[in-house]
Amino acid sequence: MFYKNINTILSDINIHTTDAIIIVFLIFILTVGLIYYLRFKRFVGYVDKIPGPKCSHIFGKLIGNLELFWTIKVMTDFSYFGFQVMAGLTKTYQDIGAGIFRAWIGPFQNYVVIFRADTVETILSSNIHIEKSREYKFFQPWLGLGLLTSTGDHWRSHRKLLTPSFHFRILENFVPVINGQKDIMIDIIDKQLSQNNGIIDDIRPVITNCALDTICETAMGVTVKAQTNVNSEYVNSLRNVLMLFLHRFLSPWLWPEFIYQITSYGKQFKANTAVLHEFTDSVIKERKTELLMKMNENKGNKLEELVEDMGSKRRLAFLDSL
């Protein structure tokens, strides 16, 4: 009888201890949740002082301003009209004298768009406010940790290495390249105007193809012919990567890396990124081979002299300057 009473008492103590642990755990969770909620509410209060489109109904509160893009995505060409939405919002807030607006992607993630020079000057001229948002990590499988995607000391070291390559004398050498690609673009525009009664339905592909040709020739010294070769594997893969990034950016459920990698979108991104890497690796390998051959032929010359000699025979690309 005595032992039974002890067992009963011990059993009751265990039950009460378990209940106490559960209660303490729940209080802890509720406290942390309340602190997070109050901090986030304060943050939302600050953000919503910036002008921006409102989320009126309950569903809008959950998805933020994504409804603006998702409606368009269902109806028509997402990339084209997505750009039109951003341009329209910019014009709306520009007309009221603002150089900035904010938008919500889901209930927790906000983005601030800055489009006026005096508004953005403080950020662009700062070496302190260089922290990148998490969306830049979406580009890391393609671009790695470079100037665009890195931050902190890693960014500063890359910036220091790249600054000499943007000297005015070097940039002036690229003017003929820019003019040459511009002339091709003008010919394409004239052709489209003559074939379509003086109307161009969408100028974006024309301009982006010209920009891509210019960037590739100045940066890598190769011509991808984005303006004239519609079947270029590199160009098509680059377009696919950018479109997949935009799709992921506007789909919060695809933000976690482990989820994205198992989706068809993640597999497409990986395949297209492999094509881009294969192309750039081949260009870099070719440049290294050329330079090594020069070094073997001219063993007494310094590396800088060899690069300068290469520049006298052909225009040095940005890659050669690096």
Residue-wise pLDDT for 77-97, tens only, equals 556 666 777 777 888 888 887
DSSP-derived secondary structure letter, 249? H
Q: What is the per-residue pLDDT for 303?
A: 53
Higher pLDDT, 152 or 233: 233
pLDDT at 60 over 60: no
Q: How confident is the model at residue 103 (pLDDT cuts 50, 70, 90)?
A: confident
Phi then psi for residue 104, to 5 deg, are: -105, 130
Mean pLDDT across the chain? 77
Helix (H) or strand (E) holding 132: none
The DSSP code sequence of 152-186 is HHHHHHHHHHHGGGG-HHHHHTTHHHHHHHHHHHH
- DSSP letter for each residue of 76-123: S-HHHHHHHHHHHHHHHHHHTT-SEEEEEETTTEEEEEE-SHHHHHHH
- List the single range of 50-54, 67-71, 178-182, 198-202 with lowest mean pLDDT: 67-71
Lowest-pLDDT range of 58-62, 165-169, 217-221: 58-62
8 Å CB contact between 102 and 47: yes
CA distance 64 to 43: 15
- pLDDT tens digit sequence for 292-302: 777 676 665 55
Task: Give per-residue pLDDT as tens, 221-250.
Answer: 788 888 888 788 888 998 899 889 888 887
What three-state secondary structure class fits 74? helix
User: Shortest CA distance to 279 belongs to which of 247, 245, 230, 319?
Assistant: 319
> What was the pLDDT predicted at 2?
47
Could you name the CATH architecture of 135-321?
Orthogonal Bundle (1.10)
Q: Which pLDDT does position 75 carry in this prediction? A: 46
The pLDDT confidence band at residue 273, using thresholds 50, 70 and 90, is very high
Token reading at 315: 């225009």
Closest CA to 253 of 32, 62, 103: 62
* pLDDT confidence of residue 315: 53
Q: Would you say how long the chain is, in residues?
A: 322
Count how many Cα atoms sit within 13 Å of the Cα of residue 222 in the half-sphere of its side chain: 14
Alpha-carbon distance 280 to 284, whole Å? Answer: 6
Question: What is the spatial distance between Cα 33 and Cα 262, in angstroms, rounded to a whole number?
Answer: 31
Residue 181 pLDDT grade (very low, low, confident, very high; cuts 50, 70, 90): very high
In which band, very low, low, confident or very high, does the pLDDT at 312 lie, cut at 50, 70 and 90?
very low
Q: Is the pLDDT of residue 203 over 90?
A: no
Using CA atoms, how far apart are residues 141 and 274, in angstroms rounded to an integer?
Answer: 9
Query: What CA–CA distance (Å, rounded) separates 49 from 53?
Result: 12
Asked whether residue 35 carries a pLDDT value surpassing 70, the answer given is yes
Mean pLDDT, residues 14-19 taken together? 63
Please say if the pLDDT value at position 271 is more than 90. yes
Site of tokens 């590199």: 234
Tell me the per-residue pLDDT of 22-33, one tens digit each, with 9 for 90 and over.
777 888 888 988
Range 119-123 average pLDDT: 79
pLDDT at 178 over 60: yes
